[in-house]
Amino acid sequence: MGDDPQHIKKVAASSYDYDNDSRWANYWNNILIPPHMASRPDVVRHYKQKFYQRYIDPEFEVEPFSSATSARSARSSPASPPEQNQSANSGGQTQAPERRPSSSQRASAPTGSLRLDRNSVPFLINAWVVVMAIMAMFPFSPWGLSDRAYRFTLAGTGLSCSYSIYSQYGRPRAWNLQAIQLWLQSLIATKDFIYLLYCFVFVSSPMAIKFALVPVLCRSLELVAKYLRRNFSSANLYRKYLEDSCLWIDTNTATLNILSSNSEIVLGFLVIILLFTRQRNIVQGVMYWQLLKLMYHAPNTASYHRNAWAKIGMHANPYIHRYAPFLRTPIAYLQRWFQH
């Protein structure tokens, strides 16, 4: 056993200092596991070995948790006859209940080995959003399929944002006005809540504005690329087909955020233009410009939106002062409303 490479790797994994590795805390917090199992040493040891395999030594072979559980129950089985004898001496009434927990543990061992990571659910939803957005924006898609893909894209993004908000902020402490107000104040400036409102504004409209999918697609691409790079960096299919694209997306998030902010602002002017057509939607226009105002002040989106608005003002103000000076007063009023 001393010459077995896997035994040496197992000893190294057991002696690794997990407490001083910040990645272990994030890894452990992202595992969905019942509280009564999280305190079991064998469960903690199993996931420490999986962490060691993913981040330290990919060649380390981790024993499946189901076999580890069965081995533990096999080791504990010799101790059961004395317990049964003791129960038999006391009347034999507890012999049947002693057997039922062991059988239930063996039945639940395979399901205990199937752990769903908290980040995998948003990844699947965002991957679905990317596919639906491409189908909706593809110019040769049938109208019915394109319209449904448009709705599915916005609904999927809203579901992803809702799941992220629930994972990070949970529910209000109490279902009264004050508790709900405090809960909303803690998340109203977050990017997930902003995009949840964004999806609600456009999914409730009868008209499908395909240009509205550009910010949604950029958000989903960024999240999918980060998940793939973090969890599939050693997979052959990822290295062959997706590594370069994911690397470019992950290193150019600022470019995607600039594209998203510019698209959101252009979309605001498009909504105003639609007010002069038969497909006008005044409620949608008011709601979306209130959302643009929120994006202008929210910490996660303020820098990109303010830079975009500054560039628009730099190019548009000279023409307004020269050819339409009567617009300066209403534009100044709108700027004061937008900036406060």
- Do residues 199 and 217 touch, judged by C-beta distance below 8 A? no
Q: How many CA atoms lie within 13 A of 164 on its CB side?
A: 22
How many Å separate Cα 259 from the centre of its chain?
Answer: 21
- Looking at the fold, whether 133 and 98 belong to one and the same domain comes out as no
The phi, psi pair for 178, rounded to 5°, reads: -65, -45
Residue with tokens 């580890």: 68
Q: What pLDDT is attached to residue 268?
A: 95
pLDDT in tens, 24-50: 877 877 776 776 677 788 888 888 888
**Domain interval for residue 172:** 120-339
Residue type, position 83, single letter: E
Number of structural domains found in the chain: 2
Q: CA 95 to CA 38: how far, in whole Å? A: 29
- Looking at the fold, whether 176 and 314 belong to one and the same domain comes out as yes
- Looking at the fold, whether 83 and 219 belong to one and the same domain comes out as no
- Looking at the fold, whether 26 and 79 belong to one and the same domain comes out as yes
- Looking at the fold, whether 173 and 37 belong to one and the same domain comes out as no
Pick the range with the lowest mean pLDDT from 81-85, 178-182, 217-221, 317-321. 81-85
Q: What pLDDT is attached to residue 26?
A: 74
The phi, psi pair for 155, rounded to 5°, reads: -65, -40
Q: What pLDDT is attached to residue 69?
A: 44
Q: What pLDDT is attached to residue 212?
A: 95
- Looking at the fold, whether 137 and 93 belong to one and the same domain comes out as no
Q: Quote the pTM value.
A: 0.65
A 10 A CB-CB count for 270 gives: 14
Q: Considering the chain, what percentage of its residues have pLDDT values greater than 90?
A: 41
- Looking at the fold, whether 86 and 28 belong to one and the same domain comes out as yes
- Answer with the one of 112, 131, 152 that is the final residue of a domain: 112
- Looking at the fold, whether 264 and 232 belong to one and the same domain comes out as yes
Pick the range with the lowest mean pLDDT from 55-64, 118-127, 194-203. 55-64
- Answer with the one of 112, 129, 152 that is the final residue of a domain: 112
- Looking at the fold, whether 128 and 260 belong to one and the same domain comes out as yes
- Looking at the fold, whether 61 and 136 belong to one and the same domain comes out as no
Opening angle at CA 16, ends 14 and 108, nearest 5? 45
Q: What pLDDT is attached to residue 89?
A: 43
Q: What pLDDT is attached to residue 83?
A: 42
A 10 A CB-CB count for 23 gives: 12
215 Cβ neighbours under 8 A, 6+ residues apart: 195, 198, 260, 263, 264
Q: CA 127 to CA 92: how far, in whole Å? A: 57
- Answer with the one of 74, 95, 112 that is the final residue of a domain: 112
- What mean pLDDT is reported for the chain? 81
Q: Is 266 exposed, middle or buried (0-12, 13-18, 19+ CB in 10 A)?
A: middle
pLDDT in tens, 126-164: 999 999 999 999 888 888 899 999 999 999 999 999 999
Q: What pLDDT is attached to residue 193?
A: 94
Q: What pLDDT is attached to residue 66?
A: 54
pLDDT in tens, 69-123: 443 443 444 444 444 444 434 444 444 444 444 433 443 333 333 346 677 888 9
Q: CA 161 to CA 188: how far, in whole Å? A: 12
Residue with tokens 């049938």: 142
Confidence class of residue 297 from pLDDT cuts 50, 70 and 90?
very high
- Looking at the fold, whether 108 and 136 belong to one and the same domain comes out as no
| 66 vs 251, residue with greater confidence | 251
* Six token digits for residue 134: 């491409």
Region 165-174 average pLDDT: 87
